[in-house]
Amino acid sequence: MTGLFADLTVMVCSKLLKPAGFMTVVSMFIAATHLTSCHKVDAKSHSTAAGTELTYRGITVDGGALEITAPSPWQIAASLTSGALVALVPHIDGQYISTANIDMAHRQTFESMASSPASKLTNSLPNQLKMDPLGKFLYFKMDENNNEHFNIYRFDFSTQEMSKLTDSSYVSGYSVSPAGDLIIYSSRRDVAEGSIVDLRLLNLSTSEDKILFTDEHSEIKFPWGNFSWDQANNAVFIVGQYGNDRQKGTVVRLSLNGDSTIEDLLPRSSSRSFPSLDLSETHTSGDDLYFISPENGSQNLMKVSLSSKVVTNIYSSLGASVSQFTVYKNSNDVMVNDRHALVNIKSILGTTLTEVRVSNGVVSSHTLTQIPGTANILSADSQNVLVSLSNESVKASIQSFNIKSGATVEVLGSEQSALDKAVHCDSRVVRYDTFDDVSYDVNGEHLVGKIHAILYTPKVVRTNLPKIAVVQSFYGGARNFDSRIQSLCAIGVTVMSPSVRGVSNVGSYFETLNDGDLGGKEMIDGQYAAKWLVTELGFDPRKIGTWGQSHGGYAAMRQTTFPATFNGLQREFQWAFGISEAGFSSIVGEHDQSNIKAWILKEAGGTRENPDSVADWENRSPINHLDELKSPLLMVHGTSDARVPFSLSQQLFDKATALGLGSLVTLTPIPGAGHLNFTGANFILANQSIYTFLQSVFPE
């Protein structure tokens, strides 16, 4: 096998946070996004008494040295040449995050945030990136100690200094005012969803940080903090929910003029989960507030009159999701009731950009372009749209689309040589029969008894390795770039990624199909995917396993311990192995120990106080069905995970060992890592544990 790993040139890429603008078109700032900067690194292989080793040496973007030595070609094949490693951070130990300011017109790269002493982190990545209106600062949330204690930080592009702006247990969301002088944010008093939340206002000029509203005694709670400002900066609009119920969301108005009361803007007659506000974060149009609300089986673009509270459905697409929108005034139009809304519609088939015009109460729409993948709007005016794109073979691309001409230009993207290193799968969309007549709509097409999936097959057939297949256990079927899937293809593993009922990429209705049925019918959907691999592609059922992350990690545990019969369902497949990343073995344990208790109540149904609910949760917990475990199970889990505590994998490992099943279970702790936050050396550790596990299940 050593011949496969002769001297190589590898692209080591650092994630760069790049504020971008149409410098030559309009004077506006674009929300920061992730792009990739690549640097060549030499790789040398040599033989040792223990086998073949591969050493990588090179210089990272911030000038630090890089050197990795790893044994076993099986492990190295994917972990170091697939792009899974090479698209992370500049220092391989995960201690630094690199950031850069990019002038889109000239593609000039400036100083890295990593040069600031304050940028030394422990396996944490910035998120919720926001630019101030003048482009002087980049704001972001960060968990500095990897324990989900998120706070707001600011990076000054001129001084290259980073500063911490808040001191909260958990900042769940925030927004910078249009003038760049204020930040509204939600601050939990502990990290758990369901804790008391203070809505706070930070004055960036005076550093005054005051509480505007506390939800301790309010029926409406604010666990996630989705904000928008009114045009006059006199109020903010905030997404809330009634109590601890994720299914009942609303939007409220909070005055910034000293009145600490909130005004509920939406009627309670409709059941909606997590309405969302405008991409631009300033989105009132005269008397109207625009928002997205998942009602009637799809995500709808809606508006509410701030004076009359009348709600109007502006646009919906059954079987797809209006995932983003931005409302802008036509450059030739001064009427406040005449607006264009650019709507981003996502489905399992890709992304559609649609322009919706609301003129004197009349709504019209037309499709601008269809994009094969997951595209996010970064900014738009009446002429141009800037989007970030990812799909099965494109990790990151920034494209400019001209509304009038229809022309698309790639502004920034990955070098082809980097893509060649990162993309190891060919992919195609498939549909397969499942066990019942589940019905739903996809972009106007009505499907009955069918499940959508993406099939990933290795570009290079490894004739010296066994023909293995893996079925993704949850969150599958999405049209985006997945480093783990690409790395599996790199070692010759076929991956079937199905959109089992309950995933969010098919539509609001489909997402609700597993509510209250966690670990039930979604499992059988996955088992029918494995059966399809056998009947249609000729895979040996003894070489098909399942893999998943988070909810998918639970699902992988559940699949390998699924009873022969459960609630009238018949087990349809016996898995050859299971791989769980950050999964939970006990539903009760996840409810009691995690910081997302409301998620369990939604997915598993019932309440913690109801004995019948608890009994049902226990019956759906993998830890209580270890007598069904017949195949090897690997658990990979960060030791500092607050969302799915590490103990929930440890407990299954300990119980299986006590029952004499120790030969079937493997637990790989990822030291100090949070929820799936495997960066740098920890990502290598997670990857290598998977390849070592597969090698033990299928010896060469």
pLDDT single digits (tens) 440-485: 888 778 899 999 999 999 998 877 778 999 999 999 998 888 888 9
Which of 157, 173, 188 is at the close of a domain?
Answer: 157
Query: Do residues 538 and 532 touch, judged by C-beta distance below 8 A?
Result: no
Q: Cβ neighbours of residue 517 under 8 Å, at least 6 residues apart?
A: 605
Contact assessment for residue 175 and residue 228, using Cβ atoms and an 8 Å cutoff: yes
pLDDT bin (cut points 50, 70, 90) of residue 228 is confident
At which residue do the structure tokens 């192995």 appear? 577
Structural domain count of the chain: 2
How far apart, in whole angstroms, are the C-alpha atoms of residue 482 and residue 86? 13
Res 386: pLDDT: 76
Is residue 152 domain-resident?
yes
**Which of 134, 157, 180 is at the close of a domain?**
157
Of residues 595 and 330, more confidence is placed in 595
Strand bridging mode 384-391 / 374-380: antiparallel
Q: End-to-end distance of the chain based on CA atoms, in angstroms?
A: 10
Taking residues 106-115, report their average pLDDT: 27
pLDDT of 282: 53
Parallel, antiparallel or unpaired: strands 450-458 and 425-433: antiparallel
Q: What is the DSSP string of 309-347?
A: --EEEEEE-TTSEEEEEEEE--TT---TTEEEEEEEEEE
d(CA 501, CA 585): 21
What pLDDT band is residue 287 in, cutting at 50, 70 and 90? confident
pLDDT in tens, 630-680: 999 999 999 989 899 999 999 999 999 999 999 999 999 998 888 887 766
Q: Per the domain annotation, does 271 fall within a domain?
A: no
pLDDT score, position 680: 63
> Out of 146-150, 270-274, 686-690, which region has the weakest mean confidence (pLDDT)?
270-274
Q: Are 353 and 342 in contact (CB under 8 A)?
A: yes
What is the number of alpha carbons within 13 Å of residue 474 lying toward its C-beta? 27
According to DSSP, residue 506 is labeled S
pLDDT at 650: 97
Task: Give per-residue pLDDT as tens, 5-39.
Answer: 222 222 233 322 222 222 211 111 122 222 233 33
Instruction: Classify residue 456: in a domain, yes or no.
Output: yes
Return the pLDDT at 472.
Answer: 98
Residue type, 144: E
Work out whether strand 161-164 and strand 151-156 pair parallel, antiparallel, or are unpaired.
antiparallel
Name the most confidently modeled range: 296-305, 529-538, 638-647, 687-696.
529-538
The parent domain of residue 77 ranges over 1-157
State the pairing for strand pair 439-442/65-71: unpaired
Give pLDDT tens digits for 132-189.
777 678 788 888 777 788 999 887 767 767 789 999 999 999 999 988 899 999 999 9
| Confidence grade of residue 2 (pLDDT, cut at 50, 70, 90) | very low
Q: Is 415 domain-assigned?
A: no
Q: What is the pLDDT of residue 245?
A: 81
Last residue of a domain, one of 109, 142, 157: 157
Q: Which residue has the tokens 């490992």?
A: 653
CATH of the domain at 485: 3.40.50.1820
User: Residue 191 has what pLDDT?
Assistant: 86
261 C-beta neighbours (distance < 10 Å), count:
10
Q: What is the pLDDT of residues 379-417, one digit of tens each?
A: 676 677 777 788 898 876 777 788 888 888 776 665 666
Does some domain include residue 51? yes
Q: Is residue 278 part of a domain?
A: no
Q: Is residue 465 part of a domain?
A: yes
Structure-derived torsion over alpha carbons of residues 177, 182, 183, 186, reported in degrees to the nearest 10: -110
Chain centroid offset of residue 534 CA: 30
Cβ neighbours for 569, distance < 8 A, ≥ 6 positions apart? 435, 520, 521, 523, 524
Query: Is residue 555, in this structure, part of any structural domain at all?
Result: yes
pLDDT at position 462, please?
Answer: 76
Q: What is the CA radius of gyration of the chain?
A: 25
- Report the residue count for the chain: 700
Which of 319-323, 607-611, 660-664 has the least mean pLDDT?
Answer: 319-323
